[in-house]
A and B are shown apart, each in its own frame.
Chain A
């Protein structure tokens, strides 16, 4: 294993000297297959034929992205095709892990694939997740200790999701369960509790990434319908995340599963402060409706919910950003996410203003290491 944070950063375009001490655990690294046919060896005969016959057929709301698609245009790969990005471990090592000296990278799959949460057939969705997980194991894991995985599950059939978690949870390189936020019910609903129970049983946190239904087809990305432009659809993400967070708290998920950690990523962060403040004041008046909540909602939030750091907004002043990090209790709740290889990624060095060393260590490494249960003796 490489020494944490020791090597200099030599990323393209970078001329300054890196902070040598920076230790990086990246909780959002998107990996992808180049062609859907690559999943064929991992599908049963029926679904194998189904993929050949029907294609992936993933629903999408059809929002555009930035010009030149979603990925960073400085990442040149001779095999890059339209809409594809980061589909080999070698590419990830060369363009991200090595130049930025990333200590651990959590694979989170390709957001366009998250549309499986909007598939009407829960068996097809579950089969796709199983195939994607097995493809990931064969092509991405076991070759680089820095690469850790999240088990992709389909929330539309909790029983199959639990089976998938049970099947893969014991792998040492598997440190989380990944579910897109675009579901048809908020995550606190008792329908999902068997999934969270399995996560807790195996000591795996849930990492929920924006995408899938919220912005695809299962539900509209906002409660008032489909906005017109991509930028608007991005503005709806915090509402999806805050709905899930308040649902998890109100439905007593963290009373029921006191060791569960739940991260919500790529939905920005301002919403989290609003949820903590607003829920605490409401709780004092209307706790009688949810009397199983024994503590202030913000206490559940700070103990159990983690917030992905990307995209981090640029405040009007640096001072405001520091204040915001304090309001968020970033030293407890914030986990660094690069969103590699997308255009709106947040690099590990210029994204934040200079932080106190302890705060930096929490945001860039320790919050995530604790959530993912990666200890010093892990490898």
Chain B
């Protein structure tokens, strides 16, 4: 098991992130705190190799039906759970690395552990 200390726990409060570069090459890794849960993603977008973890956060945006005269309800749920790559804006679910617009695409995720005050990423995961 190869463990790497990424940060102290207070460095990444909920809604925040830390990108560690260089880390296994220049692209590195991003550790996100989503509502108290920590997740780590590879900082390379599987689409066009953009610096994925530097992207903006959104939520799951949905609509029950196409808009009509009587109803055009757009919903946003889980704000902050979706990461959008700054190159081409593909959305990824931080918790799973799953790409929302292409089921065959996912970004590599790493297991994150808290050891005392240290946030640790397991590289072999």
Contacts and interface: CB of A to CB of B under 8 A. Distances in A.
Contact of B56 (A14, A73, A344, A351): A73
B84 A13 contact: no
Contacts of A13: 26-27, 43-45, 49-52, 54
A281 B1 CA distance: 66
Contacts, number: 58
A66 B61 CA distance: 13
Contact of A67 (B43, B45, B50, B58): B58
Q: Interface size class for chain B?
A: 20 to 34
Contacts of A16: 49
B86 interface: yes
A256 interface: no
A296 to B, nearest CB: 37
A317 B31 CA distance: 34
A350 B49 contact: yes
Q: Interface size class for chain A?
A: 20 to 34
A347 B55 contact: no
B89 A66 contact: yes
B17 to A, nearest CB: 13
A68 interface: yes
Contacts of B54: 12-13, 73-74, 76
A94 B33 CA distance: 30
A239 interface: no
Interface in A335-378: 343-345, 347, 350-351
A75 B48 CA distance: 16
A85 to B, nearest CB: 12
Given A15-B25, A73-B54, A347-B49, 14 more contacts: A12-B54, A13-B44, A13-B45, A13-B50, A13-B51, A14-B26, A14-B27, A67-B56, A68-B56, A72-B86, A72-B87, A74-B86, A343-B86, A347-B50
10 contacts: A10-B26, A13-B44, A15-B26, A16-B49, A67-B58, A67-B89, A72-B86, A73-B84, A344-B88, A344-B89
